[in-house]
A and B are shown apart, each in its own frame.
Chain A
Amino acid sequence: DIQMTQSPSSLSASVGDTITITCRASQNIIRYLNWYEQKPGKAPKLLIFAASSLQSGVPSRFSGSGSGTEFTLTIRSLQPEDFATYYCHQTYSIPSTFGQGTKLEIK
């Protein structure tokens, strides 16, 4: 199974900050990497697909990059509604696997 490791596991930031979350795959997944946001008690929401494509309706302050084994999610000019948990997810091979999550909290 492909292991997905996110860092950091938690992060404190302020409104207006720019933050970056890293996701590393245990083997090459090309660009089969998606990012999700989850708020407490809610379903995950797709933000970025295929490593760097912005899902329709998602604000442009979210961006993704990377290929192979290292990927990043960047959120620029953090808004109050961005404080949530973020997951990366590889779909290169079965079983598809998620990172352990990064909890973004207000400083």
Chain B
Amino acid sequence: EVQLVESGGGLVQPGGSLRLSCTASGFFFSDYEMNWVRQAPGKGLEWISYINIISDTIFYADSVKGRFTISRDNAGNSLYLQMNSVKAEDTATYYCARGRVGDGDCADHWGQGTLVTVSP
């Protein structure tokens, strides 16, 4: 069974840093592209970052570019999101999502999410 489990969320002050992790199991992690998607409380979904299987192609949404860094450890079946210089508007539930190339490039499996709250 495909499983994605996020961790690392919590309360952080504006301007602070946080590192989110996503641990994968039930599939060959190194064969799949990965994404981070977030959802502010009561709001819709926002894609924020993508990484390909060998980490040589990475994209970010403008809202996080220059502040967040996506990375992965294929040997450890893990995806990361380093969040620096966080702002109040970064408050959201952060989901990791597995990408499936070719099938509309859909995100076919999602973790349960980890909540990040940015507040003094």
Contact = CB atoms under 8 A, between A and B. Distances in A.
Interface in A1-53: 31-34, 36, 38, 42-46, 49-51, 53
Contacts of A34: 104, 106-107
A100 to B, nearest CB: 5
B108 A49 contact: yes
A43 B113 contact: yes
Chain A, interface size category, equals 20 to 34
A97 interface: yes
Contacts of B37: 44
B45 interface: yes
Q: SS class of chain A's interface: helix, strand, loop or mixed? A: loop
A59 interface: no
Contacts of B32: none
Given A49-B103, A50-B103, A53-B104, A98 B44 contact: yes
A54 B91 CA distance: 33
B59 interface: yes
A44 B111 CA distance: 9
A49 B101 CA distance: 11
Contact of A33 (B45, B59, B104, B109): B104
B110 A53 contact: no
A55 B73 CA distance: 28
A87 interface: yes
A46 B47 CA distance: 15
Interface in B80-119: 95, 97, 100, 103-113
B95 A49 contact: no
Contact of B95 (A43, A50, A53, A94): A43
Interface of B: 35, 37, 44-47, 50, 59, 61-62, 95, 97, 100, 103-113
